[in-house]
Chains A and B, each alone.
Chain A
């Protein structure tokens, strides 16, 4: 999978600011129309129910028709992003943009992220962005 990116999120970021930062990374690789659709789908999904999975992991995502390739942007936060409240702080936010028809692929990605988190329980204690970034990107490649 080539469309994988990772960024370090600044301190004390809100959920909305985090989503904007992650979506911003994808602006260059998508058409304006497609990017707009993805953004709308991500916010709509978050409105339906929170995408916080527990263990400091949130996976906001948007399923867009005719998106074609799959895009993942990992946002790594040292102090955690309120997702959406302080009770559920996300240290790793994985934004997934995926074609609507790729249901199995979406589930596979989600399962992979959850497995990575489960097998690396103490990785966020290191506060080492590069270590976390390399670990998760290599896990996906």
Chain B
């Protein structure tokens, strides 16, 4: 088996060499492959959740709400509770037994080193499959995309992609995953570009779009090619009063989204406590939501059923109001208790219901609206709500247009989205992805330039080697990761020196150097930075060296982490941009 694997990788490396895939154009080739691969991961993930649903409910799978409507009330509670216990046990096992903790793909792409540990992340994906399959009120897009990026990270490191390319490659996998979930080739790429990477450049966007298109082609080739929620009946007249209503809905949706984000954060802070209670907590959550589902089965699943119901005018205003309250409660409870799942579709569902209720308030105030216009406002609410929740106006706009085919509503949608974005800025709303894409750096970037210290923006890479560690184990680490440097410390983590990939790269696979130790290949002339070093001084130190990363060492000589030149420059330009904009 390992021989076959070696042959396959050898062939791949040869293809890469002769096809010039190491060059700039190579990423387009990889984007096609990883996009298509992500679509298959999405299909497998979906099949697995349906299998769990069938096993727990005894139905033939399919849609969650339909399956729950077919079963007895006690079975609804049982399914969600059992799913909660099992996923809680898996998460507990992962947290206690896995040495390497799971890394969110957003962090790996935005600020990390592209390394997403395989086992811990796959265990989390398994927990998510069980939770989602049991009918939990959460989305599947988050863990599904995470699963695709785990494999992308593994592959990228196997073929020794340099760090910037590895990050982009993982981002391509994420774009492919998003495109496969929502059938949105354009919004899939934009989602990653706008939310995760945060830079709209054609050099970045092009491979992302290639990956999402490749994923979409795979999806439409092997499964249903229709849009997720085709709503050709939605309509909003393009006149001044509709523009004003769109503006008002944008503002209201943004404020609602802010409340929603606060509720999520509060629930996480108050409920997500001791890990040992996780299985019990998730079981309890399952029982509570299962109990609600006896009366409102629509709250199970990610909320897609509610969106379809609203746009088909299946629900009364009272039903939608009750569903809105219960949905917010159920999603916040699941996330607060520590369940693994996506928050994107639930956000869209809440926004959709808010838009629907807004339209009915207009009717109550005497504004005559047709059914098409009510649906139109519900879509507008969806886009505006997600704009604030994700801090991504362009993605929100295109996501809604693409998966509803409501292109003729682009004008009022744009007004609603921009109004929402404007309100989110003046209310300083942090998006639901802010923590994942900024790691521990965001607080640092909010300080004045002179106060930003290295201790705020270093990376905790405590994976060091000892002075007597053999070359074979050091080269293995370099082959497995994309790190440019490994630091040498004593057993008590006192810093000694640094081993650079560039020094030993041509010898990584040598069979003659097994007796070489870290001391033989480390450099001791590498400048060190202290946690108190100011960002400006750090730039001066970097400019005097050729190194891309330096060690951060405290006053007693203990190694604390790694400072990357790219992080320093990102931090510097971020603070500079903020200071320039805010005066």
Tell me the A residues contacting B by CB distance below 8 Å: 45, 48-49, 51-54, 61, 63, 65, 100-101, 103-104, 106-108, 110-111, 114-115, 118
Contact of B513 among A48, A63, A65, A107 (CB under 8 A): A107
Contact of B507 among A48, A54, A61, A111 (CB under 8 A): A111
Asked whether B468 is an interface residue with its Cβ less than 8 Å from the other chain, the reply is yes
Contact A104 B517 (CB under 8 A): no
Known: A106-B520, A110-B512, A115-B512. 19 other contacts (CB 8 A): A48-B468, A51-B515, A52-B515, A54-B515, A100-B523, A100-B524, A100-B525, A101-B523, A103-B504, A103-B521, A103-B523, A104-B506, A104-B507, A106-B521, A107-B521, A108-B507, A110-B516, A111-B510, A114-B512
Known: A100-B525, A101-B523, A103-B523. A49 touches B507 (CB 8 A): no
Asked whether B69 is an interface residue with its Cβ less than 8 Å from the other chain, the reply is no
Range, interface on chain B: 10 to 19
Please, which residue of chain A has its CB at the minimum distance from the CB of B511?
A114
A129–B515 alpha-carbon span in the complex (Å) = 27
Contact of B517 among A49, A52, A106 (CB under 8 A): A49
17 A–B contacts, CB within 8 A, in A order: A48-B468, A48-B517, A51-B515, A61-B520, A63-B520, A65-B525, A100-B523, A100-B525, A101-B523, A104-B507, A107-B504, A110-B512, A111-B510, A111-B512, A111-B513, A114-B513, A115-B512
A101–B500 alpha-carbon span in the complex (Å) = 11
Within 8 A of A (CB), among B242-256: none
* Across-interface contacts of A49 in B (CB, < 8 A): 468, 517
Asked whether B579 is an interface residue with its Cβ less than 8 Å from the other chain, the reply is no
* Across-interface contacts of B519 in A (CB, < 8 A): 45, 48
Give 9 closest A-B pairs by Cβ, nearest first: A114-B512, A103-B503, A111-B512, A107-B507, A53-B515, A103-B521, A104-B503, A49-B468, A48-B519
Contact A110 B468 (CB under 8 A): no
Asked whether B467 is an interface residue with its Cβ less than 8 Å from the other chain, the reply is yes
Which of A61, A101, A111, A115 has its CB near the most chain B CB atoms (within 10 A)? A111
Majority SS at the chain A contact face = helix
Tell me the B residues contacting A by CB distance below 8 Å: 467-468, 500, 503-504, 506-507, 510, 512-513, 515-517, 519-521, 523-525
Contact B512 A101 (CB under 8 A): no
* Across-interface contacts of A54 in B (CB, < 8 A): 515
Please, which residue of chain A has its CB at the minimum distance from the CB of B515?
A53
A28–B294 alpha-carbon span in the complex (Å) = 94
Give, as a whole number of angstroms, the nearest-CB distance from A12 to chain B: 25
* Across-interface contacts of B524 in A (CB, < 8 A): 100
* Across-interface contacts of B515 in A (CB, < 8 A): 51-54
* Across-interface contacts of B516 in A (CB, < 8 A): 107, 110
* Across-interface contacts of B468 in A (CB, < 8 A): 48-49
* Across-interface contacts of B521 in A (CB, < 8 A): 103, 106-107
Contact B517 A101 (CB under 8 A): no
A103–B521 alpha-carbon span in the complex (Å) = 6
Known: A104-B504, A106-B520, A110-B516. A48 touches B467 (CB 8 A): yes
A54–B524 alpha-carbon span in the complex (Å) = 28
Give, as a whole number of angstroms, the nearest-CB distance from A62 to chain B: 10
A53–B513 alpha-carbon span in the complex (Å) = 9
A103–B513 alpha-carbon span in the complex (Å) = 13
Contact B525 A101 (CB under 8 A): yes
* Across-interface contacts of B503 in A (CB, < 8 A): 103-104
Please, which residue of chain B has its CB at the minimum distance from the CB of A58?
B515
Give, as a whole number of angstroms, the nearest-CB distance from A30 to chain B: 20
Give, as a whole number of angstroms, the nearest-CB distance from A47 to chain B: 11
Give, as a whole number of angstroms, the nearest-CB distance from B59 to chain A: 63
Give, as a whole number of angstroms, the nearest-CB distance from A135 to chain B: 18
* Across-interface contacts of A108 in B (CB, < 8 A): 507
Give, as a whole number of angstroms, the nearest-CB distance from A115 to chain B: 6
Give, as a whole number of angstroms, the nearest-CB distance from B150 to chain A: 34
* Across-interface contacts of A103 in B (CB, < 8 A): 500, 503-504, 521, 523
Please, which residue of chain B has its CB at the minimum distance from the CB of A98?
B520
Contact B513 A110 (CB under 8 A): yes
* Across-interface contacts of B513 in A (CB, < 8 A): 107, 110-111, 114
* Across-interface contacts of A104 in B (CB, < 8 A): 503-504, 506-507
A61–B525 alpha-carbon span in the complex (Å) = 19
A80–B272 alpha-carbon span in the complex (Å) = 67
Please, which residue of chain B has its CB at the minimum distance from the CB of A61?
B520
* Across-interface contacts of A52 in B (CB, < 8 A): 515
A111–B504 alpha-carbon span in the complex (Å) = 12
* Across-interface contacts of A111 in B (CB, < 8 A): 507, 510, 512-513
A107–B507 alpha-carbon span in the complex (Å) = 8
* Across-interface contacts of B523 in A (CB, < 8 A): 100-101, 103
Please, which residue of chain A has its CB at the minimum distance from the CB of B517?
A49
* Across-interface contacts of B517 in A (CB, < 8 A): 48-49
Give, as a whole number of angstroms, the nearest-CB distance from A85 to chain B: 16
A118–B500 alpha-carbon span in the complex (Å) = 28
* Across-interface contacts of A45 in B (CB, < 8 A): 519-520
Give, as a whole number of angstroms, the nearest-CB distance from B494 to chain A: 15
Give, as a whole number of angstroms, the nearest-CB distance from B503 to chain A: 4
